[in-house]
A and B are shown apart, each in its own frame.
Chain A
Amino acid sequence: MRELALHLLDVAQNALEAGATRLAIEIEEDLAADRLTISVVDNGRGMDAELLAKVRDPFTTTRTTRRVGLGIPLLTAAAERCNGKVEIASQPGQGTAVMATFQHSHIDRAPLGDVAGTLVTAILAKPELELTYRHRVGEREFVFSAAELREQLGDVPLNLGPVIQWVREYLSENIAALYETDETNASPTSNVESQDE
């Protein structure tokens, strides 16, 4: 997969298929430690120790009963290529937590890609999902909660055309703002032209 956001979507989709009603996604870009961490925590049906032990095996498919096929092995390979790893903790009936780490500056690390597109896809997959998203880049942070949107929207569902388009732009803009350099935030007075000629 060409983007980490696509791996993220895959893990999120697994969570939904495991019956999750709550999904907490976090991306932390710790530039000082040169580390990128993606974590996905769900309250789905979880996995027992036996399945958890087999989940990295690409030939384990539990498609009809629970979760995971080729997705976790692909993510693990992507993380390990970049001096990182994938950790999975799960408890039957409690949920599953997947955490992938990468060396942020590693040449083989795929770009994060369209995270907003991934989040919107998860919302469309399950509009009533309690989705939270936290993204940190150095000192900056963006926090999103689907519940907050629903509060504003009342009885209008999140998956309605114009609403979901708005959500996508809202997410893209706020995530892009995390990467803005200081020059673009420069004070507007710096553009004032001198009037004394």
Chain B
Amino acid sequence: MATKSLQNGSAEVPIEISTLPPVVGINFGNSYASIAVFTKEGLAECIANEDGERQIACAIAFHGEEMYIGNQAKQQLVKNAPNSIVGFRNLLGKKFSEIPQTENTTSARVIQHPELPDTAAYKVQVLQPSPAPLSNTTSAYTTPAASHAPTPRSEPILVDRILTVSEVVTIFLKSLVKSAEDFLGKQIKGAVISVPSTFTEEQKDALEKAAQDAGVTVLQLLDEAGAAAATTTTPTWSGDSLRPDRTQLLVDFGSSAVSLSLLSVREGLTYILAASNTSAIGANQIDDKLIKFFAADFTKKMKVPLTVCPATSPADQRAEAKLRLAIEHTKRTISASPGAATCSVESLKDGMDFTGSINRMRFDMLGSPIYASVAAEITALLASAAIDPHDVDEVVYIGGTGCLPGLDNRLCTEVGLREDVETPFARGTIVGGGLGDPTTILARGCATQAALIDSIQEEELRAAFGRGHEAREVKATTKTIGVLFPNSLEENKEVGGTWIPVVQKETALPVRRIVSFDVEVTEGSKRIAFEVWEVKEGIRVEKVVQSSLPSSDDEDDEEPEETEIKHRTLAKEVLLGAIDTQAQLAIQTKGKGKDVGKWFTRVEVQFIVSLEGALDVELREVGPDGVVERFHVSAL
């Protein structure tokens, strides 16, 4: 409520100011795309297209005079495969000669454009409406007509239509923007589109051009890691439980590739510590396994032979396409509910219907080898960045496959992440389109980013969001700096006091950090003293031999199990300064509790590390007339 209330009737007629910025975030994947807009509540939200799909399949199909886009087009893969185009994003901006001519795809094949040199294109058959007959009323030479009925149009003609990849992308983007415009009810001013980290500059140029042809201004082409970070650095994401300084592992499990990024998030400022991308693993492999499983099930139940992946006969190919569509639903069910998921296909082969089910355990077994290879990827990535799995604070999943709970469990145990690592599963934000929903993270991030760029007035700042701007290159700290309050508590024996890290390692410079906390002082002296140290953080591995269970008598020769328990360690390296002063505003705790009768004061410690590496430390007691102490450590 407005605090100042007004006289009756003095208010002006409310002016309708729409707070929705007319921008859209587009996550443009190879198999699925999603769109998000900024809602009234100030949150980015993934929206559905006209078909009610939030996950819009990247597919375009032509059938007769009709053109289908999205999930409808995917259905066409069964009956009308040669006229359906899928998987076009990755080909964008590539020359025809660069595209590997391999797989026996059922969908429309990539061909060399008949006119343009070295350009990839698709050939589809469409019915072209024949030109309307000339109306004879305008003709100067009117002849007496036999009847007044207009001349009927002739039948549409079957023609070949050649579409370049860029044109296909344009058509698709246009339909996405149209959906967003329908949702917002006004024209879209700009869009942020996600691109995979593997995209080359030419591909980005091509995407920008395709978007321009679709009538969208591209505000920014955002790396998928960036789009994810745009979501995960919002206050709504971090809530109360997540620390503002954390190391975040992004697992983007796409249908054809897995890309991993290790991010250093420091109060919203994010950069990539290490990244890897492999197209050897993908959710398609899980699909294949699942299809094989159901095909085997079908053969067993119906006694109809069905060989899929790869399928040879046209009947088998069609059955595979049907199954591929049906298992989308199965995967979603198994992600959402703990029970078994069914898969039903009518007339799968030879007119036989199929209904099968799979439970979570069986599913995890099927996926197990793929999960294991993802885990190996992650381990390799962490090793290359010289970061212990124990140091990862948060895992974020991207892509529909990330919804599978088996994956999360498997990765956490196999990579050796900390027990209390934050995952969307641990936080329970994954189900029901929650905050951590892996399928919408990228689109929401793009929308958040689009709204942010839209709100920036300065041209100079806007330019810095472009590709490869030099302002992105930063210096960063290498070691953690913090304050040490000396005491002789048993738990703090290692460093001889209470350690409070202030500026974490891998923080972009220049940086300012302010932390506040309570300090206990003695009634007599009211002394506050602390040291500022630069420390080296490490991991100590403690091997604990578990006593083997007495029941396993028959396997005596088995070695006793060893479990590794990891501890974080600190080693003081450089003493940077010390402050010793008297508190002015200490208050004695009243009431009940363990702290009654003790004297406390609240202090704020501010660290500023300049670009050159100079450090300014300031101690400030919270409240009026509190004690203020500061010192300066100059740069190297």
A complexed with B: no
Chain B interface residues (CB < 8 Å from chain A):
none
Chain A interface residues (CB < 8 Å from chain B):
none
